[in-house]
Amino acid sequence: MTSGADISAQTVREEAARRRTFAVISHPDAGKSTLTEALALHARVIGQAGATHGKAGRRSTVSDWMKMEQDRGISISSAALQFEYRDAVINLLDTPGHADFSEDTYRVLSAVDCAVMLVDAAKGLEVQTMKLFEVCRHRKIPIITVINKWDRPGNDALALMDEVFERTGLTPTPLTWPVGQSGDFRGVLNRADSTYTKFTRTDGGATIAGEETMAAAAAEALEGTAWTDAVEESDLLDLEDQNHDQDAFLAGRTTPVMFASAVLNFGVHKLLDTLVDIAPAAEARLDKNDQPRPVDAPFSGFVFKVQAGMDANHRDRLAYIRVCSGVFERGMVVTHAATGKPFATKYAQQVFGRDREVIDTAFPGDVVGLVNASALRVGDSLYLDEKVEFPEIPTFSPEHFMVIRAKDSSKYKQFRRGIQQLDHEGVVQVLRSDLRGDQAPVLGAVGPMQFEVAEDRMEGEFNAPCRMERLAYTIARRTTPECVPTLARERSVEVLSRSDGELLALFSDRWRLQGVQREHPDLVLEPLVVS
């Protein structure tokens, strides 16, 4: 194993330049997990797509490994897939599709350099897509837009371009343009050189779709008016100067657009090539003081996700680290910025969905899984030699609350361990008070499905069946110890302590909050703002 100290700064810069670290974002059911697996299929790191899309023999996708994900056909936990393609190293972070798990998606977006925004051709830009787009805009993350499901009836392509511009403010600059209306997906016009790539279906989309690229004259002879219509629409885009400009894309003024059908593997190979060709590589990241940490500085990274239950045989816990600078070397002792204590990285792994293998070195842009890193929490920074702390990853304001209790008092130890684990992972927020005691903590969540995940894991992983009781609160506000006595006397109000030390005042509804604010204008009741 080569020592990190033996790797030159030039090599680190070259390796960082090879990395493409991105997330796929969209509204639920737009095809994120299907696209994730199709990308892995086209990179030839898997032999057959996991979703065969037939009723018989249907398999779950590689990135959806939790039982609840497989049962429901949705992604509820982000997954990291790493593989090589051409001369690049791809770190692809799949994200939960359901809005109830948007907090997990937000954490993933803190670790990427680019985002692929997946849009359903029939539904356009939906609510969850726009919420995640705003996060990307705030974080200055460049966005590549993919119009998915073009093999099904949907909207007009030019109308979709208008919608992207009107809703996001980004100028769409299509790299490919569909030949054939939505529902009749024949191939794409490659706008850079005016060639035609014709797609050929495979059985159920389980294997790589056939592609044939030909000149414009051959395309016109083969496709007739479908080709000439595509050329005319592409010419209209030229007149509006909707052509790719790399600087404008990286600056967040434009979004390159591609057309695809992830379920049929149409257009997926071109997306992979586009990510390698134009997506930003790993670069210097800003620390909490807005100072850039050069990629060739000594090792640094931060935890963007903690996940347990991936291996039922070992019950281990995996902390996902985004490497920001320098060389990560398995076994190195780094400093945990939150405590100033040394932290050994003996058990480091590369992740491919649920499957893992030991990794010896990693470079800026890579995602490393640290096993049984019980001291680490989401947002923690790690560094070697030169101290650095990256911006914290703030939590969302919970809107749903439940008291949780163990069904069997003899399993209280398992119950307590499970609650602590879920809290560390950020599956739910755990709130406590002296009045309720440790045996009846309150769980706070962005969406109610988080409670289902918590309940399922408490029983399945920790052997601690529990029962939950909904509380009639819908709003949380940050407060201070000085305000607690006054708030304690108010009806439909309760103050609880979160595990990070924050005091949260819970209110039944916004009218109750407004009433308390009118009666006690000096109280500190601050929104929990995500930034």
pLDDT digits (tens, 9 = 90+) for 189-201: 999 999 999 999 8
Pairwise CA distance, residues 21 & 279, whole Å: 9
What pLDDT is stored for residue 99 in this prediction? 62
| 52: confidence class by pLDDT, cuts 50, 70, 90 | very low
Find out whether 57 is annotated in a ligand binding site.
no
For residue range 236-280, what is the model confidence (pLDDT) as tens digits? 999 999 999 999 999 999 999 999 999 998 999 999 999 999 999
* Other CB atoms within 10 A of residue 130 CB: 13
91 within 8 A of 363, measured Cβ to Cβ: no
In a domain, 98, yes or no: no
Find out whether 444 is annotated in a ligand binding site.
no
| CA torsion through residues 328, 333, 334, 336, sign | positive
Q: Tell me 308's DSSP state.
A: E
For the chain, the 3-state helix, strand and coil shares in percent, each to the nearest 5, are: 30, 30, 40
Pairwise CA distance, residues 189 & 220, whole Å: 11
Residue 255 shares a structural domain with residue 355: no
Residue 159 shares a structural domain with residue 269: yes
Residue 16 shares a structural domain with residue 144: yes
In a domain, 297, yes or no: yes
Residue 52 shares a structural domain with residue 155: yes
Flag whether pLDDT at 513 surpasses 70: yes
Mean pLDDT throughout 328-333?
92
Residue 273 shares a structural domain with residue 320: no
Mean pLDDT throughout 303-324?
74
Residue 378 shares a structural domain with residue 406: no
Which of 252, 278, 304 marks a domain boundary?
A: 278
What pLDDT is stored for residue 528 in this prediction? 80
301 within 8 A of 324, measured Cβ to Cβ: yes
In a domain, 260, yes or no: yes
Find out whether 95 is annotated in a ligand binding site.
yes
Flag whether pLDDT at 449 surpasses 70: yes
Residue 267 shares a structural domain with residue 290: no
Mean pLDDT throughout 494-503?
92
State which residues form the domain around 346.
285-383
CATH code for the domain in which residue 446 is found = 3.30.70.3280
In a domain, 103, yes or no: no
Flag whether pLDDT at 529 surpasses 70: no
CATH code for the domain in which residue 372 is found = 2.40.30.10
Mean pLDDT throughout 126-145?
90
Instruction: Give the SS3 label for residue 412.
Output: helix
Work out the mean pLDDT of the chain and round it to a whole number.
86
Find out whether 2 is annotated in a ligand binding site.
no
Mean pLDDT throughout 375-401?
89
352 within 8 A of 408, measured Cβ to Cβ: no
Helix (H) or strand (E) holding 39: helix 32-42
Which of 231, 252, 278 marks a domain boundary?
A: 278
What pLDDT is stored for residue 49 in this prediction? 42
- Exposure string of 82-105, with b = 16+ CB inside 10 Å and e = fewer, is bbebeebbbbbbbbbbbbbbbbbb
| 54: confidence class by pLDDT, cuts 50, 70, 90 | very low
In a domain, 101, yes or no: no
333 within 8 A of 343, measured Cβ to Cβ: yes
Find out whether 527 is annotated in a ligand binding site.
no
| CA torsion through residues 402, 403, 406, 412, sign | positive
CATH code for the domain in which residue 70 is found = 3.40.50.300
Which of 225, 244, 278 marks a domain boundary?
A: 278
pTM of the model: 0.81
Flag whether pLDDT at 60 surpasses 50: no
In a domain, 186, yes or no: yes
Flag whether pLDDT at 124 surpasses 90: yes
Share above pLDDT 70 across residues of the chain, in percent, rounded to a whole number: 87
Residue 139 shares a structural domain with residue 222: yes
Residue 294 shares a structural domain with residue 369: yes
Share above pLDDT 90 across residues of the chain, in percent, rounded to a whole number: 60
CA torsion angle 261 39 22 385 (round to 10): 180
Q: How far is CA 221 from CA 200, 224, 228, 265, in A?
A: 17, 6, 10, 25
Flag whether pLDDT at 68 surpasses 70: no
Mean pLDDT throughout 486-513?
94
Instruction: Give me the helices (H) in 461-505, please.
Output: 484-488
Which residue type sits at 43? A
| 105: confidence class by pLDDT, cuts 50, 70, 90 | confident
What pLDDT is stored for residue 470 in this prediction? 96
Residue 370 shares a structural domain with residue 411: no
Residue 162 shares a structural domain with residue 308: no
The tokens of 150 are what? 């073009």
Mean pLDDT throughout 307-314?
56
Q: Which residue has the higher pLDDT, 194 or 63?
A: 194
What pLDDT is stored for residue 306 in this prediction? 83
Q: Which residue has the higher pLDDT, 500 or 416?
A: 416
Based on the structure, what is the number of domains in the chain? 3
Pairing type for strands 317-325 and 367-371 reads antiparallel
Flag whether pLDDT at 357 surpasses 50: yes
Flag whether pLDDT at 47 surpasses 70: no
Residue 446 shares a structural domain with residue 497: yes
Which of 133-137, 290-294, 330-334, 476-480 is least confident?
A: 133-137
CA torsion angle 109 115 120 123 (round to 10): 60
Helix (H) or strand (E) holding 172: strand 171-174
In a domain, 6, yes or no: no
In a domain, 457, yes or no: yes
Pairwise CA distance, residues 487 & 376, whole Å: 34
Which of 126-140, 201-215, 304-318 is least confident?
A: 304-318
